[in-house]
Amino acid sequence: MRPLLRRGLALAAGAVLLGGCGLGGSPSAGGRATPTAQISHSNGTERRPLPEAARPARPWDVHPASVAALGDSITRGFDACSPLADCPEVSWATGSRTRIDSLTQRLTAAGPATRGWNLAESGARVADLPGQARAAAAYRPAMVTVLIGANDACAATAGAMTTVDAFRSAFGATLAYLHKVLPATQVLVASVPDLRRLYSVGVTNPLEKQLWRLGLCPSMLKDADSHSASAQARRTRVYDRVVAYNGVLRQVCANYERCRYDNGAVFGYRFTPDELSKWDWFHPNEKGQTELARLMSAVAFGTAPAPAG
């Protein structure tokens, strides 16, 4: 989710600043692999490709050798270790902190050579996803994870949320690109969390409501104490938009053999107060990241996607 009005939040959080986690996790320019062209050698006998229906289905690999994580501040571990800072070492997807038991950690237990890259960006929206996918392609990962969409709903007003058509266009372009450039790579897609549920948890805390007034997800959190018809209609509109985004994720993912959607597992998860950041009561803390890792590992490494939630 987009960390808005950082300066105001920094003043409010300054009294509890801790020595937090570093900003590592994204690759340096010098660390990227350079894609190489493949040259085929023919003996003069051309082989025509099999029709799509005649091609054997590729089984889903539950032991991919590498993972590239795309998305927003949730995957970056924002506000999980210290206020207003990313903490990728606790990321559900690629985190290295032992108690998180991230996807990458689970894979490393079976294959010590497993590699992971966290290419998510705090504040990212779905429009930023194609660029993240291009960055991931340089590493040629065996699996790409995607958790995106909260910032598209967390707009200045409900009217400013990303439209469903624009969301579909950007997400569709991302999967089409990955399928074309990395045809052997499988894609794991998480649903957008239920922002209204997160509101209902944090609204009970007077301090957090004061912080929300500084600009965190105003489309949902503005006038947190208001139960007027217009305020409730606004929150319902945001909720419905998130549901629509998740419908897009499910529909587009279903077009690709090597794509798994969590069938609403993250959206349906009921985060508790002790699983949310004590600095914003909106982002998952370490315990919340651990739960995300558990949910998505069941989808990634099971024989079938998780049941709809």
Q: What is the DSSP letter of 221?
A: H
Confidence (pLDDT) at 302? 84
Residue closest to 2 by CA, chosen among 199, 289, 216: 216
Amino acid at site 218:
P
Domain extents for the chain? 60-301
**Angle, in degrees to the nearest 10, between helices 129-137 and 164-181:** 10
- Residue 216, C-beta contacts closer than 8 angstroms, at least 6 positions apart: 1, 3, 4, 5, 9, 154, 280, 282
- Residue ranges of E strands in 27-139: 66-71, 115-118
- What is the full DSSP assignment across 163-193? PHHHHHHHHHHHHHHHHHH-TT-EEEEPPPP
Q: What is the DSSP letter of 307?
A: P
Chain mean position to CA 171: 12
Confidence (pLDDT) at 197? 94
Alpha-helix residue ranges (DSSP H) falling in the chain: 6-13, 73-76, 103-110, 129-137, 150-153, 164-181, 195-202, 206-212, 218-221, 229-253, 265-268, 286-301
Give the whole-angstrom CA distance, residue 98 versus residue 249.
30
List C-alpha distances in Å: 158 to 235, 238, 240, 241.
Answer: 8, 6, 11, 9
Confidence (pLDDT) at 79? 96
Give the whole-angstrom CA distance, residue 17 versus residue 176.
42
How much is the pTM?
Answer: 0.81
Pull the structure tokens for residue 211. 């912080």
If residue 143 lies in a helix (H) or strand (E), which one and from where to where? strand 143-147
Give the whole-angstrom CA distance, residue 39 versus residue 36.
10
Residue closest to 117 by CA, chosen among 133, 98, 94: 94
Confidence (pLDDT) at 205? 77
Domain 60-301: CATH architecture, name and number where available: 3-Layer(aba) Sandwich (3.40)
Give the whole-angstrom CA distance, residue 244 versus residue 168.
10
Pull the structure tokens for residue 208. 């957090």
- Residue 294, C-beta contacts closer than 8 angstroms, at least 6 positions apart: 101
Radius of gyration of the chain (CA): 20
Give the whole-angstrom CA distance, residue 162 versus residue 125.
9
Chain mean position to CA 173: 17
Per-residue confidence in pLDDT tens, the chain, 309 aa: 554 434 344 434 433 333 333 333 334 333 333 332 222 233 333 334 444 444 456 689 999 999 999 999 999 999 999 999 999 999 999 999 999 999 999 999 888 889 999 999 999 999 999 999 999 999 999 999 999 999 999 999 999 999 999 999 999 999 999 999 999 999 999 999 999 999 998 888 777 777 787 788 999 999 998 999 999 999 999 999 999 999 999 999 999 999 999 999 999 999 999 999 999 889 999 999 999 999 999 999 985 554 444
Pull the structure tokens for residue 120. 């998510």
Confidence (pLDDT) at 212? 80
